[in-house]
Structure 1
């Protein structure tokens, strides 16, 4: 067993051993209070202020998005331990596979060049596209896939914050580029995981599971490994670990994966989550940007429900819009999903950095009302109370846990 494998195992065993007392270690840290302090005065701010002294408790409403990657390298043991300590009741492993068909936690099959140190190691030569230095107007580039490596080779890599510097002329320089609102303080010795190891870790932390089957970057079948094999292998690892289907929300952007689980693994399919990436905007009444009429989506919300889909997960902005008074309200999309009886989960809070200039991609439908960090809780309140979402992914789960605890979610 390699040293990195032993490290991962030791950390997982430690987390398992402390499960019984995990509740004692929950902490919001300073960020929720900071965000409340930034809010515009009003009833919501008053209510949240009264909760600042509450004792944290775990909530399934709070979902760790790749762990807690606002500050710690995503999909590592350390990132998920931090998320659990912030009260995230559900933790995520994005699932992809190696050259020897082992399942590992990685946001994309082809992200090793930005999430690990691979380009600065001898394994960089095995990348689908090895590192090329920036030259003139041509940026630095690389593409390194988990499917380029065996599991043993994958384990030898060091995880880092998801970033790269496309102006770099050296491999060491390319490893930089971390966003200014994030940090590299916790990157050293961060421990990557296999999917099976994530199951043991999350169980040891007292959390539930939301694995996402990532779209392959390679053509399928891959060495005889079909898409159905891939979807089944992910579920089989929960069954092998004795995890009840009621504790697992399997996700995919590919509707066919969701339908596969509904048909072939109905207990797991009952909570399978269709990650909706049908993003479009059109001009709504009064010239405000409004999410496209969900009834025109194919398949429609009702058609999804008729197929057996019970959970849908669009991005934050697709669920909200601004009314004529500039107030956040549920979008047509949200209303259509609710009318079809779909449970709604959304993503991703705390991924935008400072919100003083509109919030970027995740806040695009409410950008005109987004001018300070306190808007985080204004948006979350509309999502929870008016849209009725059942869970929110966050890059810093303390923010969502605090709100859920305060509101009794």
Structure 2
């Protein structure tokens, strides 16, 4: 059995080891994890999790901050990252793209500044957007449009922006209305101070706080090479900035949806590439992809050791309508491939079946507490290395509680 995370205390669940590190920083989880646990259906798992309500809690590598703590804080901002770290995320993610002058910055997409920042509130910058804001036409029903890319701006211009909660109002007739699109279960309370970060700044922040990193190399919207900036140069620059920040390969989980990026790291930076994560979007369309021993072996044969699909690919329902490990998960494990799941706490209230992330088990999802049941299956039956969450405290709570009960 392979031990993934080192620490003074470890819990082995299925094929993983979860460490809370008794000698590491404590975590402040706030009220939400217990709210979720109290929302669970009655049963042994709920009883077990309630027994941990008094803590104490510590940082866990099983808990991965997805874009920081993006349920409440503007994603990929300093504030979001710090909140994730405080909530005990042992690993934090910077999605990486690049600016007009080829500097790496933390954004989920090269083309999301219009929904994740206040760029449209800066007229002198908004006019530089690939598609400047166009109001909705209420007579024809045409939605409002805008597209602002990081590659539309220099790093200096990018750094004048503030992060906001991701969202837009497609029926807006003004910039102000367009920017007012935050989902009701999130909040704009912290959007006035969303400090954007370069990838290098995020790496420096994470190193200073002693957490591991999982940067994702995002697919470019612009055609590559971009002004002489090739895909290989892009992938290598990411590694170089991590090295400059002092990160060791064992503390780094490079990610990409592009298998060629993973292959590049395996060849050009093998010490980092051996722990690179292939984000498996093949599962998006079941009419075109079905997991098999053969296609899992193909990944293993090229050197892929870790895959990360959306969580619906890792769980399914058995004949008794119970949530269990999926065939995909079993095949990956049989091929010797480890797994990471995404994304918890990104679906809003789960009373209607949980939406896209829970589509394979929606018939068993009817309250927020059900995410703990899914999390328990991912940990014990699937044996994931860790779980991305928009509110890492929930995963940290689970990991700490399971550790205490060994």
Specify if TM > 0.5. yes
Q: Which residue number corresponds to residue 389 of structure 2?
A: 394
Query: Among 228, 235, 240, which residue is 1:236 paired with?
Result: 240
Q: Which 4+ residue blocks in structure 1 deviate beyond 3 angstroms?
A: 280-283
Q: Which residue number corresponds to residue 183 of structure 1?
A: 187
Q: Under a length normalisation based on structure 1, what TM-score does the superposition of the two structures give? A: 0.90
Q: Is 1:293–1:332's contact at 8 Å kept on the other side of the alignment?
A: no
Change beyond 3 A, Cα 1:280–1:197: closer
Q: Is 1:292–1:333's contact at 8 Å kept on the other side of the alignment?
A: no
Q: Which residue number corresponds to residue 377 of structure 1?
A: 372
Query: Which range is displaced more, 116-125 or 214-223?
Result: 116-125
Change beyond 3 A, Cα 1:281–1:135: closer
Distance apart, 1:280 and its partner CA: 4.8
Change beyond 3 A, Cα 1:282–1:128: closer
Question: Unpaired runs of 5+ in structure 2?
Answer: 1-22
Q: Which residue number corresponds to residue 167 of structure 2?
A: 163
Q: Which residue number corresponds to residue 125 of structure 2?
A: 123
In 2, the alpha carbon distance for the partners of 1:73 and 1:398 equals 17
Q: Which residue number corresponds to residue 53 of structure 2?
A: 52
In 2, the alpha carbon distance for the partners of 1:220 and 1:401 equals 39
Q: Under a length normalisation based on structure 2, what TM-score does the superposition of the two structures give? A: 0.91
Distance apart, 1:271 and its partner CA: 0.5
Distance apart, 1:242 and its partner CA: 2.0
Secondary structure of 2:182's counterpart equals coil
In 2, the alpha carbon distance for the partners of 1:393 and 1:280 equals 18
| Offset from partner CA, 1:59-99 (integer Å, 9 cap, x none) | 00000000001000000000010000000000000000000
Change beyond 3 A, Cα 1:303–1:272: same
| Offset from partner CA, 1:262-313 (integer Å, 9 cap, x none) | 0110000011000000125669xxxxxxx964118xx711111111110100
Distance apart, 1:28 and its partner CA: 1.0
Q: Which residue number corresponds to residue 94 of structure 1?
A: 95
In 2, the alpha carbon distance for the partners of 1:334 and 1:247 equals 24
- Aligned-residue CA RMSD in angstroms? 1.6
Q: How many residues align?
A: 379
| Offset from partner CA, 1:219-255 (integer Å, 9 cap, x none) | 0000000000000000010112221111100000000
Question: Unpaired runs of 5+ in structure 1?
Answer: 1-20, 284-290
Secondary structure of 1:89's counterpart equals strand
Secondary structure of 1:408's counterpart equals helix
